[in-house]
Copies of this chain bind each other. A is one copy, B any other.
């Protein structure tokens, strides 16, 4: 049923390369099959105007695809002169998701910007960006903790994301581009290490879905995200040791 022979619950091969960028405070190249995303974390010692003077920090994200990341070339948003609705939606999702596991008070008045640039796209670019950006964020906060003594560690939990869908009435996980095109439902799930949902976004534009299908997809997503969080833990090693330390 799946074009690459996977079982419904099988993830594609995931690969994580640490530190591909020599300047960023945290950086990672994450690959999910042929989807490749370069994630960098930049720490800035100030916050946006709406947070000034409150002692709190901020996490924000930007997302972009290289013009030839896809089958046919897309015009650059810099040339269009504006972001598409899709890009805005995705970068708002990434930022919101990451903030859910950051104690902004503990972070202090600084902003961490996560840049997710898709070098090659084969489905799941937004969920892969979240999973990769979390690692870049963790690296940056770990590095920061070498200079700043945090009473409470700003990262409260692990966080990863995966896509699920329904193909031929069968819920499947981690769809590639070809599967995505023929799935009748498209759902993205973001979850923490404590198995709590941060985002559940399901869309049945082609065909509405039943509550049973929804339940099936959620179960597949949970299982997959726990595997990805295990991968994050293995990759981060000691750099992740203080994540989710006892928080008030």
Contacts and interface: CB of A to CB of B under 8 A. Distances in A.
Contacts of A199: 202-204
A88 B82 CA distance: 12
Contacts of A205: 96, 99-100, 198
A103 interface: no
Contacts of A67: 40, 42, 62, 113, 115
A117 interface: yes
Interface in A204-246: 204-211, 214, 218
Contacts of A117: 66
Contacts of A1: none
Interface stretch (A72-80, A141-149, A168-176): A72-80
A7 to B, nearest CB: 23
Interface in A1-55: 20-24, 27, 34, 38, 40, 42, 44
A62 B89 contact: no
Nearest to A188: B201
Q: Which 4 A-B pairs have the closest CB atoms?
A: A196-B208, A85-B88, A77-B78, A40-B68
Interface string A178-210: 000000000100011010111111111111111
A71 B210 contact: no
**Chain A binding surface SS class:** mixed
A119 interface: yes
B88 A76 contact: no
Contacts of A27: 68
Contacts of A248: none
A211 B201 contact: no
Contacts of A89: 85, 88-89, 92
B92 A83 contact: no
16 contacts: A21-B69, A21-B119, A40-B66, A42-B73, A67-B115, A77-B78, A78-B87, A79-B83, A81-B82, A82-B82, A83-B85, A96-B205, A194-B208, A196-B210, A197-B210, A201-B202
